[in-house]
Amino acid sequence: MLTKPIQEEEKQSQKDSTIGSYWITTFGCQMNKADSERMAGTLEKIGYSRAVDEFKADLVLYNTCTIRDSAQQKVYSFLGKQVKRKHNSPKLKLVVAGCLAQQEGESLLRRVPEIDLIMGPQHVNNLENLLSRVDSGNQVVATEETFISEDITNARRDSSICGWVNVIYGCNERCSYCVVPSVRGKEQSRYPYAIKNEIKTLAHNNFKEVTLLGQNIDAYGRDLPGLKKDGTKENTLTDLLYFIHDVEGIRRIRFATSHPRYFSKRLIKACYELDKVCEHFHIPFQSGNDEILRSMARGYSINKYKKIIENIRLLMPNASITADAIVAFPGETDQQYRDTLKLITEIGFDQVMTAAYSPRPNTPAAIWDNQIPEEVKKERLKEINELVDKTARKRNQRYLNNIESVLIEGLNPKNTSQMMGRTRTNRLTFVDIPKNNEFNYLIGEEHNIKITEARSFSLSGQIYN
Ligand code: SF4
């Protein structure tokens, strides 16, 4: 099934025949960003046009996150402003989607009775039907577990160069701190042909890069039928990479988020062999201490984790390794916390997304009595962020004076005398606009860039002919 992203003139004709304007605010992860693009596509298909301002829109949709309490509180503050608006303009439609909607369901209506539609992440493809029920005067809550049918929407993508492609929804793991399984449901893999079709469509529309998405992408295919002669699963992430690699026009393939428990040597070999697969691996380790990993129910040891990084660097020494880490997990002693710092120094990560443990509803660790005091959480977070910054800055010096291939994605919104893009290792790179001020032809293509400056989390450079 080939679907075509919406073209300018099509958007204009839609504008003339719109039923109103919409605004989507997305909180949280790449999965939510991809879901929001699909919901925007549906809204435009049924006749809405994009509003210029959140406070002028006829339909406001918050695609929410609940990974930490701060994310949850943020949604309520946004909702508060729209509720005031709704009291003056009752026609305003308020939609709350995503993980907080799934977690709270009906109780969100009791807290904010002005909401028209509450829909969990599994119902993204069902937005049109749900809105038609709202239009017939109902207040709708759609959070029942459901099979995610194949994607029928033509996503309204934020980028015209890099595209998100969902390959597996949900997660069957049971990490003791994580709310994802209870809000995104069981693993549901898309069929390889459907994924390839979507990538062909993107290539057909001049996209150059795709990022395959899954909460635990190494679980891809576990729920799909089919076994190889040796009894192993027919469809795995590695097989999928080989299967989609020949799509013409696509230059770069990325994937996230990996799980050390299932990260295989076969996958590393595939990433090394397949030219388009970029040398960037995002593999959350969460803690540098085995005892904490056991109480997190992560299912691997630090030695196993280190072995994975070693195997990657054996074949791809320059690959970038990024991760996630949680500090102040219940019961974490100062020594166990220092093990996390030690691992960061030992591995020399390109970047680590850090967070202090936040108790989440319906997760085992939230009710444990060995919670860490807030002030200790703050101290540990401050210290680990300083170390991550220092480590990344040191690691990034390897790019200095190098010629790197950078896919130029557009102008730097913060400094329009620069363009921005990323290296194959996913380093954000700012590129000076050539003296003749001609740059449009550079956007959407890979260019050799001489790196002149290396900071902790970004690079700068010039076009190198
Ligand atoms: S693998 Fe663990 S941390 Fe990741 S989404 Fe699943 S339960 Fe959450």
What pLDDT was estimated at residue 235?
85
Predicted local distance difference test score (pLDDT) of residue 227: 75
Q: Does residue 150 fall inside a structural domain? A: no
Is 45 within 8 Å of 17 (Cβ atoms)?
no
Pick from 65, 168, 177, 180 the residue to mutate for probing ligand 1's pocket: most ligand atoms within 8 Å of its CB.
Answer: 180
Domain-ending residue, one of 398, 413, 442: 398
Query: Distance from the CA of 189 to the center of ligand 1, in angstroms?
Result: 16
Q: What is the mean pLDDT of each run of 10 residues along the chain (465 residues)?
A: 44 62 96 96 95 96 92 90 93 96 95 97 94 96 88 83 96 96 95 94 97 96 84 86 97 97 96 98 98 98 98 98 98 98 98 96 96 98 98 97 97 93 98 88 96 97 91
CA 304–ligand 1 middle distance (angstroms): 18
What is the model's pLDDT at position 437? 80
At 234 the pLDDT is 76
The answer on 455 and 364 residing in a single domain is no
- d(CA 3, ligand 1 centre) in Å: 31
- Residue 144, classified by CB atoms within 10 Å of its CB into exposed (0-12), middle (13-18) or buried (19+), is exposed
Residues 105 and 175 in one domain: no
Same domain, 331 and 452: no
- Residues 457, 324 within the same domain: no
What integer pLDDT is reported at residue 150 of this predicted model? 74
Q: Which of 68, 99, 173, 174 to mutate to test the pocket of ligand 1 (most atoms within 8 A of CB)?
A: 173
Same domain assignment for residues 296 and 250: yes
Q: Please check whether residues 54 and 113 belong to one and the same domain.
A: yes
Out of 89, 112, 142, a domain closes at: 142
Give the distance (Å) from ligand 1 centre to CA of residue 328. Answer: 18
How much distance in Å is there from the Cα of 282 to the middle of ligand 1? 14
> CA 361 to CA 358: how far, in whole Å?
10
The CATH number covering residue 181 comes to 3.80.30.20
Q: What is the CATH number of the domain that holds 450?
A: 2.40.50.140
Ligand 1 atom closest to the CA of 286, numbered from 1: 3
Return the pLDDT at 436: 83
- How far is Cα 19 from Cα 15, in angstroms, rounded to an integer? 9
In a domain, 148, yes or no: no
Contact between residue 212 and residue 198 where contact means Cβ atoms under 8 Å apart: no
User: Which of 169, 182, 259, 283 is the pocket-test mutation for ligand 1 (most atoms within 8 Å of CB)?
Assistant: 259
> Do residue 333 and residue 408 come from a single domain?
no
How much is the pLDDT for 20? 96
Ligand 1 atom with the smallest distance to the CA of 298 is: 2
CATH of the domain at 113: 3.40.50.12160
Q: Is residue 227 part of a domain?
A: yes
Looking at residue 2, its pLDDT comes to: 36
Task: Answer yes or no: do 206 and 332 share one domain.
Answer: yes
**Domain of 330, in residue numbers:** 162-398
In a domain, 149, yes or no: no
State the total domains in the chain. 3
- How many A from CA of 124 to the centre of ligand 1? 21
391 and 407 share one domain: no
What pLDDT, on a 0 to 100 scale, did the predictor assign at position 326? 98
The verdict on 282 and 368 lying in the same domain is yes
Last residue of a domain, one of 142, 172, 198: 142
171 Cα nearest atom in ligand 1: 6
Any domain includes 446:
yes
Same domain, 324 and 453: no
175 C-alpha to ligand 1 centroid (Å): 6
Give a three-class secondary structure readout of the chain: CCCCCCCHHHHHHHHHCCCEEEEEEECCCHHHHHHHHHHHHHHHHCCEEECCCHHHCCEEEEEECCCCHHHHHHHHHHHHHHHHHHHHCCCCEEEEEEHHHHHHCHHHHHHCCCCCEEECHHHHHHHHHHHHHHHCCCCEEECCCCCCCCCCCCCCCCCCCEEEEECEECCCCCCCCCCHHHHHCCCEECCHHHHHHHHHHHHHCCCCEEEEECCCHHHCCCCCCCECCCCCECCCHHHHHHHHCCCCCCCEEEEECCCCCCCCHHHHHHHHHCCCECCEEECCCECCCHHHHHHHCCCCCHHHHHHHHHHHHHHCCCCEEEEEEEECCCCCCHHHHHHHHHHHHHHCCCEEEEEECCCCCCCHHHHCCCCCCHHHHHHHHHHHHHHHHHHHHHHHHHHCCCEEEEEEEEEECCEEEEEEEEECCCCEEEEECCCCCCCHHHCCCEEEEEEEEECCCEEEEEECC
Ligand 1 lining (C-beta closer than 6 Å): 171, 173, 175, 178, 180-181, 215-216, 259
Residue 152 in domain: no
Instruction: Looking at the structure, tell me whether residues 134 and 259 fall in a common domain.
Output: no
